[in-house]
Structure 1
Amino acid sequence: MPISDTKARKAMPADKPYRMPDTDGLYLDVRPTGKKFWRIRYFLDNKENLYAAGQYPHVSLKEARSIRDRVKSIAATGADPKLLQKEEREKAKRSQADSFDALALEWLEKYSPRWTEHYTKQVRVGIEREMRPAFGHKHITKVTPADVLALVQKIEERGAPSVAMLVRQWVGQIYRYAASTLRADHDPSAPLRGAVQRPPVKHSTALTASELATLAKQIDDKAGWRLNVIAMHLLMRTMLRTGELRQGRWEEIDFMRREWRIPGERMKMRRPHSVPLSTQAMALLQELHGYTGHGEYMFPSYRNPAKPMNKTTINVALNRMGWGGKFSGHGFRSTASTLLNGHGWRGDLIEKQLAHMPGDQVRAAYNHADYMKERREMLQWYSDFIDALMQDADAPPVPERMLA
């Protein structure tokens, strides 16, 4: 007699396992622990076999009967339902391993050692906040161009076209990696090239000489914490990016040679960069060493000295000084470039100091040592020029041999 759901639910455990038969080989296996499992008897090559159909009540009576019918049908063809069940489980496991999310994280782990810390964080946020909620759960081969388009349009509509473009590019890179490991044969982002327009590049504002004089005079009185003051003065006199400066480590400073040697992994172009230090920059670093020289970072975070200064600290200080919306920390670089060019300094020296990637790679290989002396002289002139501005004095003369 077939069992009912009520009987299955009320079946009590005994000292030994016992069976509650249903029909056509299906029965409920009741264990002394109180757990109940569906079992299906079927015959293959005239031999009796048992198929585990799941635990009650997670698998209902109705579901168990449906599984029984499928098992009987498969066995009737001469195939073994248990082998098919094993294959399905392995396929499901492989499908989960080859989800977009899994491939994206695998790609990130493989290539992030080549990237800067900031870029790695950008990509990780793109995966976790943008791609994962949209289609991270899908198998890598099931993501469609429509899925990617819907995501980039959603990002663009919230006013972040640059993020939308980066996400489309990262999806393409993930699929190129998946193809190279034979787990995908298409790139759903490929048809979308051009679907998102890159916003116009907004270059950092360059100050005029008089504006730089005004800012330089304000820094000591209005920038707040002394580390902020030193950071701004060093940004002016080294032409470094804010991230390169605030993440600086004391081990990178060679006081004897008067150089700041930044390893390639911290540079935007992933190449080591040496900065000759002017007399003024050396004095600032010696003062800074008295404050933070006992630690790893030159500019540690106020709240957590084990981490570098927050990326917003300098800009927040500039905002407090009244320069918000007019000037940012990155603008010290464009200001130096503009003023040095304006006074006739050679463009190749300026570009080298900015650590821009030259078009001629062979030329770049030879320039590092040759330009160190010239760049040292240029940065010393620029520091003297800043001091002259602060004192309302005339700019020092530029050596003729350094003129463009």
Structure 2
Amino acid sequence: MTKNTVIMLTVKAIESAKQKEKPYKLPDFESLYLYITPTGTKSWRYDYQFNGKRKTLTIGKYPYISLADARNEKELARQMLAYGKDPAVERKRKTLLANIAQGNTFKKITLEWFDTKKRNWSINTREMIIRYFEKDIFPFVGDMDIAQIKPLVMLNCLKQIENRGALEIAKKMRQRCTEVFQYAIITERAENNPARELAKAMVTHTPENYAFLMEDGMREFMKALQSYSGNILVRYATELLILTAVRTMELLSCKWEYVDLDKRYIILPK
């Protein structure tokens, strides 16, 4: 092998590459390389200089972006540099224009994500999730291009929930928003997830253990419940919660069509 021989990547070398304890690179040619993380994710990257600064263009994940496609993208980036354009900036501009043309708002992407996930949730969970999005998230960022939403914008949005004392809801909605942004990244409508790291900037919710009764105390409670002089529905509902161990929302949404008195059971919808 001569001194000037160029060793380029092969599909076989890419397929056989395994993850290591630390991220590492498999170089191809002219600063194109495959970046492999400790989790095994493989993505194409291209290092270049622009205005005297070293920059990196993330082309995409392998195998979604093949070796041949990655080389083509690198050549396009080199052409942009020849014309004095920053490939990374041009890529973001292209994504923005595509989102504007397609109307890729946060609300639109959220509803897409919701449609793909809802079959895994109960009816009550579906209603709760979409209700919180409509109440707490959509009024602030629903009409925004999802690719242009910054971490501070999302933080201010979630702080509105925290400020009314709903810390657990704020935590759950940050998690849901994180899933929406991840879905947008996978479907190539966004490149960053501004909700992912916000947990460190939010108020930490300290859960409280609910009071509970031991066996003797439960006997006394049931006796007292029988003599409860308030609304009879409250008494019956409390007895049902104790006897069936269903969740409060499941009991509140229960219908007679779910109940079989002859067989003495209740079938709750998923």
- TM-score w.r.t. the length of structure 1 is 0.38
Instruction: Pick from 98, 101, 116 the counterpart of residue 104 of structure 2.
Output: 98
What's 2:268 paired with?
262
Partner of 2:141 in structure 1?
135
Aligned to 2:210: 204
1:92 Cα deviation after fit: 8.9
Larger Cα Rg: Structure 1 or Structure 2?
1
Paired positions, count = 174
Alignment-derived partner of residue 93 in structure 2: none
The aligned counterpart of 2:181 is: 175
Q: Root-mean-square deviation (CA), in Å?
A: 2.8
> Secondary structure at the residue paired with 1:134?
helix
* Unpaired runs of at least 5, structure 2: 1-96
Say whether the 8 Å CA contact 1:96–1:139 is kept in structure 2: no
Q: Map 1:201-350 onto structure 2 (within 5 A).
A: 201-222=207-228, 224-263=230-269, 265=270
Change in Cα spacing, 1:155 to 1:237, as seen in structure 2 (3 Å) is closer
Partner of 1:112: 118
Structure 1 residues 215, 112: CA separation in 2 closer, same or farther (over 3 Å shift)?
Answer: same
- Contact 1:155/1:161 (<8 A) preserved: yes
Q: How far does the alpha carbon of each residue in 1:23-59 deviate from its partner, in whole angstroms, 9 at most, with x for none? A: xxxxxxxxxxxxxxxxxxxxxxxxxxxxxxxxxxxxx
Q: Contact 1:252 / 1:261 at 8 angstroms: preserved in 2?
A: yes
Q: Percent identity?
A: 26
Matched, 1:192 2:192: no
Instruction: State the SS of the aligned residue for 1:121.
Output: helix
How far residue 110 of structure 1 moved from its aligned partner, in angstroms, is 3.0
Distance 2:198 2:252 in 1: 38
Shift in Å at residue 104 of structure 1? 1.6
Aligned CA distance change for structure 1 residues 164 and 252 (closer, same or farther; 3 Å): closer
Q: 1:155 to 1:93 in 2, by over 3 A?
A: closer
Q: Deviations over 1:105-147 (max 9, x none)?
A: 2222332232233322332233222222222221111001111
For structure 1, the residue ranges without an aligned partner over 5 or more in a row are 1-90, 266-404
- How does 1:144-155 map onto structure 2 within 5 Å? 144-155=150-161
1:157/1:247 CA distance change after superposition, 3 Å? closer
Partner of 2:32: none
The one-letter code matched in structure 2 to 1:140 is I
Instruction: Report the AA paired with residue 174 of structure 2.
Output: R
